[in-house]
Amino acid sequence: MKPEKINPIRATLPYDFLINLVYKSRGLIFHSIEEHFSDERDTFASPYPSALIANHVSEADISALSAVYRRLSPRVKVIIPAREDILRNDFLQKEFRTKGIIKLLLTAIDKSHIIPFLLNYIGAHPIKRPFRDNARDLMKKGELRETVEAEWSFLVSKIKDGRNLFMFPEGTYNHDGYLNQIRKGAYYLKSKIGNLQFNSFTFTYDSISTDKSTLHISYGNPFSLEEGMDADTVTQLVEEKLGSGYVLTMGNLLSYVLFKLESQVKTSTEKLNLVLNDFNDHITKEYPGLKKGSSLRKNFSLQGLDPIFKKLIREKYIDIKEDSIVLLDKLTIIPKSIHNLKKNNTILYHKNQLNWHLNKLDSIWTGLEAKLISTDLTS
């Protein structure tokens, strides 16, 4: 059967202007944004109709989408499923719970109603989160299945109206630094729109190296879901696309190394710096396809690591005694719950970002471990 002809809704100058306003405010949330492409092009392919899928890290992802939008080729208006409360007039105050001048600023923004206006115009649509906030109530009423069906049917209708879709297939924020269970949204959409194309991008937040998070956006290449793919095969493919897109950063690579140390071992800061550089060089040589943040695309000095060490000491993950790093209980004792792991053990949270790459990293680390943990460096 010939696919139904759908005309895309092209972006307009006012539409681009408003999204650019969101992008220009990125400094309020991020230290910086680094973008990583699969080839020499600096665009993100989004042929209509497309579902553009990403991992879901935090409420800051909505702001991050403004950076992604600037790379779309072609630029088609989008529909963005958003949690209901993000479009309420008091969202910023309740979500961030800040104090002082920042609280006054967020209160003023809330009272201006500019956030709901911008998001509505851009294409953010409030949806219930049946797998999070509303599940118990909906199950009691016997409305869970109907609610999920209605939400997805609405998204399908907006795609058929001429928009592309930004979607987070996990459904909720991931809690441990890596992906939550991938739900069956991509499979459902493909069953309703036969010629739907897909592309992926992955957010990697480095909250260790800088005071504000440095956001890394890794762009994928378009892919299709073949006829006959079952739901499990589709979700596995989506996980592969998103998981393989995590970027190596100073934050998650250092976290990986710290977790490789045994709690009783003391390692000099100088030796750790040398091994980190060596580890980084081997990754580049053996797996050149792995995307790296700018801080890992060059040799880094011990002085460059000092601010990170001071931050980890301040947050009681490590201590430095006689120029040796000592791992503290906050780092080595794994929390019973992964909920809010970024706050409870940010080292483990960042190390988990590398889950998809672990086999590659472990194969390199095995050969370097002896250099780091040697009898003349222990006490």
In the chain, the domains with their CATH numbers are: 13-243 (3.40.1130), 250-366 (1.10.10)
* pLDDT tens profile 37-87: 988 889 999 999 999 999 999 888 988 999 999 999 999 999 998 776 666
Q: How far is CA 133 from CA 70, 125, 177, 313, in A?
A: 32, 17, 21, 36
Model confidence at 235, pLDDT cuts 50, 70, 90, reads very high
**What pLDDT, on the 0 to 100 scale, is given for residue 360?**
96
pLDDT of residue 269: 87
The crossing angle, in degrees rounded to 10, of helices 250-260 and 358-372 is 60
How far is Cα 287 from Cα 179, in angstroms, rounded to an integer?
22
> Averaged over 221-245, what is the pLDDT?
95
**Tell me: the pLDDT tens digits for 75-107?**
999 999 877 666 666 676 666 666 677 777 777
- Amino acid, single-letter form, for residue 349: Y
CB-based contact 197:52 (threshold 8 Å): no
pLDDT at 375 over 60: no
CA distance 343 to 329: 15
- Calculate mean pLDDT across residues 145-170: 86
Q: What is the mean pLDDT of residues 344-353?
A: 96
Using CA of residue 348, residue 239, residue 236, residue 66, what is the dihedral sign?
Answer: positive
Residue 268 φ then ψ, to 5°: -65, 150
* pLDDT tens digits, 159-189: 999 999 999 999 888 989 999 999 999 999 9
How far apart (Å, rounded) are the C-alpha atoms in residues 67 and 121?
17
Residue 256 has pLDDT above 50, yes or no: yes
Average pLDDT over residues 319-337: 88
Amino acid found at 167: M
Tell which wins on pLDDT, 319 or 265.
Answer: 319
Please give the pLDDT value at position 366: 86
- Over range 112-141, report the average pLDDT: 68
**The pLDDT of residue 379:** 42
Residue type, 67: A
